Amino acid sequence: MQSGVLKAYSGLRAQMDALDVLSNNLANVNTAGFKEERAFFTVLSETASAAEARGARAVSGAVATRSAINPTAGSLSLTGRDLDVALVGDGFLTVATAQGVRYTRNGALRLNADGTLATADGLPVMGEKGTIKLASGKIHVSEEGQVSLDGTPVDRLRLVSIDRASALVREGGSLFAAPAGQASEKPADAIVQQGYLEQSNVNPIASVVGLVAIMRQFEAIQKSIHVVMNDLDAKSIEKLGR
């Protein structure tokens, strides 16, 4: 296939990937603690020897899409619920999963059947002593993350800051994993606000504008492919007629 068509195809694929990113952002505009992803494009430059090594032709100028998490904080919404907590400043709640420790800014917490403090999905939220278990009673969470039951301290929320938070990998709506060697934990200085939830940091207006721009670029690339293919057909017919 002609290199120009391959480049155009890579452009179409990149725009489709960017569209998926934006669509997911818009779908989670009301998800507490959701962090938007921002797509960006990378122009690939592959040598002929490298292409031959993988059994393909070199296509210099092909486009690929990558994305990164935008860790900017969302606005706070007052709920008045004791088990809703929002973090002000740099930091994440730590969550225990079967795959290891994960991170979230979604503070819509609950108590599991055994009294374990957990996320809305039932994943245990970690304290400095391990999982936090609470009986019935008045629950208070201080600005430092100290969890108390009827005035008696139980544990302190394990809050961590992530170096290079933009490198986090999304797992679900508002749960993140830290890739090995790309992001590391350090103590957080975030302030805990009980009775509040952090909203998504997605700007819906900017996202819709981005969607329109992607669709226009997609259409422009489609037209360029159509022109190239018509030119190829014309040249093929000309050669066959000789």
Q: Region of 123 please: left (phi>0), alpha (psi -120 to 50) or beta.
A: beta
pLDDT, position 49:
43
Task: Look at residues 29, 26, 36 and name the one whose alpha carbon lies nearest to residue 212.
Answer: 26
Residue 215: both structure tokens together: 């669709």
Task: Look at residues 219, 222, 229 and name the one whose alpha carbon lies nearest to residue 2.
Answer: 229
What percentage of the chain reaches a pLDDT higher than 90?
Answer: 51
Flag the least confident range among 84-88, 166-170, 216-220: 216-220
162 within 8 A of 184, measured Cβ to Cβ: yes
What percentage of the chain reaches a pLDDT higher than 70?
Answer: 77
As a whole number, mean pLDDT of residues 230-237 equals 54
Residue 95: both structure tokens together: 């969550």
Alpha-carbon distance 75 to 198, whole Å? 6
Count of CA atoms in the C-beta half-sphere (13 A) of 144: 6
Higher pLDDT, 185 or 97: 97
Condensed to tens digits (0 to 9), the pLDDT of residues 176-213 reads: 998 876 667 888 989 999 999 999 999 999 989 988 88
What is the band of 57 on the pLDDT scale with cuts at 50, 70, 90? very low
Alpha-carbon distance 48 to 60, whole Å? 9
φ, ψ for residue 107, nearest 5 deg = -95, 20
pTM to 2 decimals? 0.76
What is the band of 54 on the pLDDT scale with cuts at 50, 70, 90? very low
Work out the end-to-end distance of the chain between its first and last CA atoms, rounded to an integer number of angstroms. Answer: 23
Q: Report CA dihedral (216, 222, 223, 228) to the nearest 10 degrees.
A: 150
| Residue 4 pLDDT greater than 60, yes or no | no
